[in-house]
Amino acid sequence: MKKTYYAKVHNLDQEEGLEEFKIRASDDRTTSLVRWVSIQRSGIELEPGGTAELPLEINIAHDAKPGVYYGSISFTENPNLPEAEEVIAARDRRQTLIVLELREDVKERAQVNGFSVEKSTYFESPIVFHVEIQNVGNIDLPLDRGISIYNKSGERLDLLEFEDGSVLEKDQTFEYTFSWDNASTFGEYKAFLDVVYGSDERSLQDTLYFRYVPKHIALLVILAFGGAVLCLLLWSIFGHYRHHEKLSELEQSQTGGRAKFRSIPIHENHDVVIDIRAPKHPNK
């Protein structure tokens, strides 16, 4: 003997349980699962042991609100729809639960507005870095990793990490400060910024360079430079003095010497040539 079954969709509330299963004009289509579900409402006739497939569609409203929605599809055996609705309202029926989660249009996006070191050359620790990150998405973003320090050979020396549980709230811009206290060797270093954020672990990266000169090396360089400058100054003074001295000796020899005449025989019909020469410098 054939039996007739009816299917009905209900909204369920986690705290209050079953709600009115009929679609009311007051049901908000932005939050009502009943208004989104389409299923065959007419009776379904089945022979004993028979089965049937019911097409089910969920057409979510374009302005539906994010959240988790609970509902059920109830089935009851009755000869007509009014009796079936009474049984369903009395909760005397079989049902299949529906759980639908609507996530908002999530935008996980961040950007680095600035990555800097306070000085390009340091003579003592700590080395201080500043990182400004802006959340340009619409949800809070957990932050991970931080700044890796490398020497000139490419060897990673240290990792300055974000504090555990660091979260950059939506629409927020925040400046993070990192300090490195382990600088000890003279040379140039690379600071590599690698910020991982969001549920899909996106990455923001940047790089800068700085120098570290220990104080004792800086002092030796300053002393060596100062000594070189002093030597050049003394050499310049000495050279200027020697040049002035030579000019004075030459001027003195030219003004204090006498002209020397060399006699030559004079013959008739010959021109007379007189050679007058200043005495040579006694040192030459």
Give the pLDDT confidence of 212-230 residue by residue, as tens digits: 998 777 677 777 888 888 8
All domains of the chain, ordered by start, with CATH? 3-102 (no CATH), 110-213 (2.60.40.3880)
Count the Cβ atoms, other than its own, within 10 Å of residue 279. 12
The dihedral built from the CA positions of residue 36, 38, 41 and 46, taken in this order, carries a sign that is negative
Which residues of the chain, if any, have pLDDT below 50? 20-23, 25, 259-261, 284
Check: CB of residue 204 under 8 Å from CB of residue 133.
yes
pTM across the whole model:
0.51
Q: What is the pLDDT of residue 83?
A: 60
Count the Cβ atoms, other than its own, within 10 Å of residue 272. 7
Q: What are phi and psi of 184, to 5 degrees?
A: -145, -25
Q: Select from 55, 61, 20, 22 the least CA-distant residue to 38.
A: 55
Token pair of 228 as six digits: 């070189």
Give the pLDDT confidence of 92-115 residue by residue, as tens digits: 556 788 888 887 778 899 999 999
Instruction: For residue 56, list its beta bridge partners.
Output: 39
Q: Select from 81, 137, 78, 129 the least CA-distant residue to 106.
A: 137
Check: CB of residue 187 under 8 Å from CB of residue 211.
yes
Q: How far apart are CA 220 and CA 43, in angstroms?
A: 98
Q: What is the pLDDT of residue 284?
A: 46
